[in-house]
Structure 1
């Protein structure tokens, strides 16, 4: 790298909590951070060196913003790819690369990529509307996913039978065979332009059944070493095939017969890696910066057992956020609070997370359940 990292300007498309935590790490390197987000009160507003309110899907807005940065990255995939491609042509460093973002923006193309690269995934079929769905070759029940713009459980539904098709998406979608899985897991892999790669230890996830959001995460996993190695190998295989620069989160299922199937990818810091801030030698946010600035990758080993609890807005509450039970959970050793700076709460909105660290795994889980039961985001 020709210049010192502290001499460079990092442009971040998206000013939510992921951008906020990335900036908190970037401050340690004295990086200048520029953020573009459509929300004038986005979580990054008050901690970025320069914050711009504007559309991250508009060509001119993204292009003009990117011209001001030395390196451009994202905290959400729904960005204007054409502008990023033009910036890349003009010599700007864009990580993850626009071609990677384009692939991951479309779950159908993502699934075809899995198939072409012999990456294990559930059988699927691409559909364009209800007529295609009626003629599906995949048997009920199955999962229907919109190809674009789905996130945090949105754009996903279970189709149990013919009567459910009336409420199916009209947009281009994919049908995916329902996986009888034992556990949802994730592996985060980092890759720099030199091709150096490191994986974070595999984590186990629990989802909120109603909102389909990660609610509880345990690190490291206690699955047998061969399962963990297999999951890490798959993550490395995908990062290599993509030739990605930056962080890549790989969400997977462990089936009841011990197979591992890839569900989805995220080419950025991810909810499944928040616990690395306190629980690992290097955090996913530090590792992402190391990767995109082509610096040596950090030590991904765990320091202790860590459990991450997402703080979601309570049902029935919509308004200025209040955090009931905050002092009670802060009185517990090993509890670390992360509030995202969102003024308003609504049901299931991600408002923060808590990481619980303990040398004893069962104690960490016990404390995390206490946090989950005690700390509530209300209005």
Structure 2
């Protein structure tokens, strides 16, 4: 392969905030970056070397884009995998590999992978009809998830009792036993082509109850060493079983009995790793690049307590974004603002994130709550 720090052409499928932060790191390595995204106003549009407007799900568009790069990666899973498979056959390097993206695009296949490889996960049943949904052996209440195209809480439906079946999804889905969990947790793991594997320390997450997406993240975790070790070992096992090259976010539940259950996977940089930019020796974005370039993986140790707050569009506002209270939070020591370059806001749209670092954990949490209460995205 060409030298990553000079003449290698890196293509990224997706031009959102994850791509934007990948580019910010790639610049430090002199990497030439090309982006494909359907939105001509995507966050990456002004940062990359070349921006191509086109569909990520169209075979010809993805194939033609991939033929003009040396290495192709993703910042979103919803891409045309058939095109990626053909590109791999023709010598274009695709990381993560197309077979892994295909697996993760389908939550049913994900669950079967967990079962076949003895990865702990909630009891589930794959459903292909409304009748099967009524006849499921999973007791109420349970969670129904669309097999494909669900993200950020979309495609997830809670079935409390029989009266909720009228509003259930009719598309292929899976039914999952409701987990009585203590906390949602995550581990990000990286693996390079040489087989080197490293995990980031376990993080704890809080979700916005309305939008059902990560709103607040604490690193490092204060759970016992045994729990943290078990979570990291599970993430490593998944990465090694898949033989993935790149980054893999492993979202998990810690239930009330102290048992860890894997929820979902994301084969790319992830919301649960944003705090690593300021909070860890190496960020998740640099680690992803190191992994796909087959370079030595970086030190993932925490530098400090780090809290990540997602900046979401306020309910009731739609239009040109106004960041209310930003001057107040910038007065606080250890507060780092990351805006994603999105001109327009709408309810619960991810507009940015703020990382708060402090050697005192309680003080860091206190500042993070202040940021949550003070910074509002209106129009």
Q: TM-score, normalised by structure 1?
A: 0.99
Q: Tell whether the 8 Å contact from 1:357 to 1:364 is kept in structure 2 after alignment.
A: yes
Q: What is the TM-score normalised by the length of structure 2?
A: 0.99
SS of 1:99's partner is helix
1:139 match: secondary structure: coil
- Report deviation, 1:76: 0.4
Q: What is the aligned partner in structure 1 of residue 63 from structure 2? A: 63
Please report the RMSD computed on the Cα atoms of aligned residues, expressed in angstroms: 0.6
Whole-angstrom distance in 2 between the partners of 1:212 and 1:3: 41
Query: Shift of residue 129 of structure 1?
Result: 2.5
- Give the 3-state SS of the residue equivalent to 2:76 in structure 1: coil
Question: For the residues of structure 2 that align with 1:72 and 1:153, how far apart are their CA atoms?
Answer: 27
> Are 2:3 and 1:13 aligned?
no
List per-residue Cα deviations over 1:12-58 (Å, max 9, x = no partner). 00000000000000000010000000001000000010000100100
- Which stretches in structure 1 are left out of the alignment for 5+ residues? none
Alpha-carbon distance, 1:2 to partner:
5.0
Aligned equivalents of 2:93, 2:298: Cα separation in 1: 21
Which residue does the alignment assign to 1:361?
A: 361
SS at match of 2:356: strand
Aligned partner of 1:54 in structure 2 is: 54
Deviation at 1:5, TM superposition (A): 2.8
For these two proteins, the number of residue pairs brought into alignment is 379
For residues 157 and 47 of structure 1, the distance between their equivalents in structure 2, rounded to whole angstroms, comes to: 37
The 5-angstrom pairing of residues 217-366 of structure 1 reads 217-366=217-366
Q: What's the CA shift for 1:128?
A: 1.1
1:129 and 1:169 in contact (8 A); partners too: no
Instruction: Flag the 1:45–1:163 CA change in 2: closer, same or farther, 3 A.
Output: same
Inter-partner Cα distance in structure 1 for 2:237 and 2:60: 35
Report the alpha carbon displacement of residue 300 of structure 1 after superposing the two structures with TM.
0.2
Contact 1:5–1:293 (CA under 8 A) maintained in structure 2:
no
| Stretches of structure 2 lacking an aligned partner (at least 5 in a row) | none
**CA deviation vs aligned residue, 1:74-119 (integer Å, no higher than 9, x gap):** 0000000000000000011000000000000000000000000000
**Structure 2 partner of 1:41:** 41
Find the aligned partners of 1:203 and 1:72 in 2 and give their Cα distance.
Answer: 29
Partners of 1:138 and 1:252 in 2: CA distance: 20
1:22 counterpart = 2:22: yes
Give me the whole-angstrom Cα distance separating, in 2, the residues matched to 1:23 and 1:2: 18
Distance in structure 2 (CA, Å) of the matches to 1:375 and 1:233: 37
Q: Is the CA contact 2:318–2:347 (under 8 Å) kept in the aligned structure 1?
A: yes
User: How far apart are 1:315 and its partner, in Å?
Assistant: 0.5
How far off its partner does 1:132 sit?
Answer: 1.0
